[in-house]
Amino acid sequence: YDPDYDVRASKKKKRDPPVLPQWLELGLVMGRRYVNSIFDKIPTYDEKGNVGAHFKSLAPKPGLIRQFLVDHDYVVTPTDKNLGLAVSERTWLIDATHKTLASPKDYRQISDVDAQVIMDRKHALIVQVAELAEGVPELADFGVGKFLKSKLTSPGDPHVYPDFYVIPKIHKKPTGYRPIVPCHSALMNPCAKFVSKHLKPIIQSAPTVIHGSKDLAIKLSKLSFRPNRRWYFVAGDVVAFYPNVPLEPCLNIVFDMWCNHYLASSPITPEDIDSDEPDDETRHFLRYRRVFRDALGIGNTDLISQFDGKKYLQLRGLAMGVADSPDLANLYGLYFEMKNGILHDDRVVFYGRYIDDCLGIVYADSELEAISIVNNKISFDGCEIVWEASCRSVNFLDMTLYADDHGRLQHKPYRKEHNHMERIPWISHHPYDVKRGTFSGEMSRLATLSSTLPSYIGAVRELVSLYIKRGYPYDEVIKWLRTYIEERWTKRLTEKPATDANEGVLVLKSEFNTAWNYFNAKELGDVIFNYWNEWYERAARWDFDVSDRSRPFPPPREGDRGTLTSPASAAFLMRVDPPGRELFFVPDIRPLKIVDRRVIVSRKRGRNMFDLTNLWKKTVLQQLDEQVLRERDPEPPAPPPGEQMTLEHYFALVRGPLFTRNNEPTTSSRIEYALEHDMNIHMRSSPDRDIPLFG
């Protein structure tokens, strides 16, 4: 079973669950009784006497928001680079979309008839590749064929075309826009998701691919520099990477990469593949290879989107919004990086790339030489890369890398200009533990982005100030700070070990509701799993007891499997030996390790978009954000002359009366704080400069 290929989750029609053997059903009954006993204890009235208030789902009423949008012709969209929400005039977005689609080298308007022909052809190809997948055992076992057909339209129904739109690039001047083709509901999207899933292992093992800020921080922490050698930062930006990737060469490169990755762990040789009479294993691979190749083409070629009642065909490049586009772009760049041997150059201390952002650290005597070293090694066919170098600092992702006064590589948090610093406001309906979790998660992120304790402390103080400005109670924020600050720092570069696919958690999917405040998911898991474990222990010695009607342990009936199919492996069968009868086998779920999993509750917002609009940024709030960053207090007490500021020194500041005014603890909503002693992170006054701070 692979949840990524489960098409049942996308069906709105509810189905009856399968019938389990009696003892497994009884375990679930124990769990249901536990849930009912807990909910019986939940207060019926809230503190204001409102009946049933504790059972209401937490979702805002969208009426006023919708009316505001309609009255003002406003549209709420995300922004490029995840800088927050943007409220734009409808006419601006429409004009920007028309301007983007008017590019003759990128898009061509086509008739409805031509669009129908293309989509009908894709429909037929998907049916063929799905049937082909049914002949590959390792795909058929996971239901890949059904998954690939899961978005096909029924006969007579119109095809679903993605709605083309743009999102603002508020970090550009003048404001630009990024085109998006959301293909999540289009018939070819399962093919793209199938390809993406198969490319993930290649990307995870790619030495030049940066998987995020934490991955970069871990890699930087392992670097060593030659003494007395001058080094430079070199940053590169692949200009308009997605649309400039030559599609056909890219697909061929990625196809070859996947084949080589598959064959690396297979005894199949090139001679076997070229043989006129391939063996069964080779035929299996050839069929698998064709499924991947066809899915790759279906998901990424002849992409059609619609806008304002018209259909448009994308003419070149990768589309933002297709599931496997980031994977294809990553592997296209990886091909040239490995081909040119950037990692084998002795002058290159480090090189990595996050999709279209490149970062290098090289030994050189000048900026021009540093750029020349990297530029001669990194070149993607069809793409332009703009390079810049510095011996002092560079901004990459949400991190500022710099050389300290001793010539050592350091890094600290970085915030792009116009980043809204959006946080869940205290008045939001989000549960308390979610608000606490977002705060502690931010502390983890800031710790990862900081290579020195002063940078971490300074960034955390900014975070505390920001949350209090968002209405969070002072005492709560300080309590969270003191609870997590040291732990987050000490574990900032800890790498999580790979876990077995059968280990982990069982997720109860729900929504925000105050009833969960009274519920313990771990206890629910213990009730069910403990019953099952005890039943199997009793079955091993045939010691059953039904005298306790609240928790009976009945003996199994031979052949009782409910509606479950027979296990494919004997490992999932348990032998039982009843006295005076012939032995028989019963289904055994313990090898699945399901009884070892942790039960958690996953809650989602009822209306994501409207919940986020609570964070709209008006002019006054933007001014308030800047005020937060400008409010500074004197530096903390300096260490004795000649001594370095230590970890204990900073944590002592936290454990004591952290924020004071006139030597008295601060209790007002305005918080005053001390900054790091040797590095003052601040907001630059010029709006044209980036702000080296991430709140």
Q: Is residue 355 part of a domain?
A: no
pLDDT at residue 495 tops 70: yes
| Phi, psi (deg, nearest 5) at residue 577 | -130, 85
Whether residues 518 and 661 fall in one domain: no
How many Cα atoms within 13 Å fall on the side-chain side of residue 559? Answer: 0
- Band (pLDDT 50/70/90 cuts) for residue 138 is confident
Whether residues 569 and 622 fall in one domain: no
Whether residues 589 and 651 fall in one domain: no
Whether residues 149 and 259 fall in one domain: yes
Q: Assign 3-class secondary structure to 90-103.
A: HHHHHHHHHHHHCC
Q: Is residue 21 part of a domain?
A: yes
In angstroms, the CA 333 to CA 236 distance is 13
Q: Is residue 70 part of a domain?
A: no
Q: Is residue 144 part of a domain?
A: yes
Residue 52: CB atoms within 10 Å: 9
Helix, strand, or coil here: 403?
strand
> Is residue 33 within a helix (H) or strand (E), and if so which, with residue range?
helix 22-39
In angstroms, the CA 446 to CA 313 distance is 43
Report pLDDT for 516: 77
Rg (the chain; Cα; Å): 30
- Please spell the DSSP secondary structure of 302-358, one letter per residue: S-EEEETTEEEEE-SSPPBTBTTHHHHHHHHHHHHHHHHTGGG-TTEEEEEEETTEE
The total number of structural domains in the chain stands at 3
Q: Is residue 65 part of a domain?
A: no
In angstroms, the CA 610 to CA 606 distance is 9
Q: Is residue 383 part of a domain?
A: no
Taking the CA atoms of 307, 309, 310 and 313 in sequence, report the sign of the dihedral they define. positive
Whether residues 272 and 182 fall in one domain: yes
Residue 556 near residue 23 (C-beta atoms within 8 A): yes
Pick the more confident residue, 135 or 659.
135
- Hey, what are 9's tokens? 């989750």
pLDDT tens figures, 440-489: 999 999 999 999 999 999 999 999 999 999 899 999 999 999 999 999 99
> Of 270, 296, 318, which closes a domain?
318
pLDDT at residue 47 tops 60: no
β 357-363/231-238 pair status = antiparallel
> Of 289, 318, 347, which closes a domain?
318
pLDDT tens figures, 204-249: 999 999 999 999 999 999 999 999 899 999 999 999 999 999 999 9
Q: Determine the structural domain holding residue 12 and report its residue range.
A: 3-48+512-603
Whether residues 270 and 168 fall in one domain: yes
- Band (pLDDT 50/70/90 cuts) for residue 401 is very high
- Please spell the DSSP secondary structure of 615-660, one letter per residue: G---HHHHHHHHHHHH---PPPPPPSTT-PPPHHHHHHHHHS--SE
Whether residues 182 and 114 fall in one domain: yes
pLDDT at residue 273 tops 80: yes
Residue 314 near residue 181 (C-beta atoms within 8 A): yes
Report pLDDT for 618: 32
Whether residues 34 and 161 fall in one domain: no
Mean pLDDT of the residues in the chain: 82
CA nearest to 689, candidates 459, 414, 441:
414
pLDDT at residue 37 tops 80: yes
pLDDT tens figures, 296-346: 999 999 999 999 899 999 999 999 889 999 999 999 999 999 999 999 999
Report pLDDT for 431: 81
Whether residues 264 and 303 fall in one domain: yes
> Is residue 386 within a helix (H) or strand (E), and if so which, with residue range?
strand 385-390
pTM: 0.78
Whether residues 524 and 579 fall in one domain: yes
Whether residues 525 and 653 fall in one domain: no
Q: Is residue 459 part of a domain?
A: yes
Q: Is residue 671 part of a domain?
A: no
Residues sharing a CB contact under 8 Å with residue 526, sequence separation 6 or more, in sequence order: none
- Hey, what are 621's tokens? 């709030």
Whether residues 140 and 162 fall in one domain: yes
In angstroms, the CA 441 to CA 445 distance is 6
| 581 class by beta-carbon count within 10 Å (0-12 exposed, 13-18 middle, 19+ buried) | exposed
Report pLDDT for 14: 63
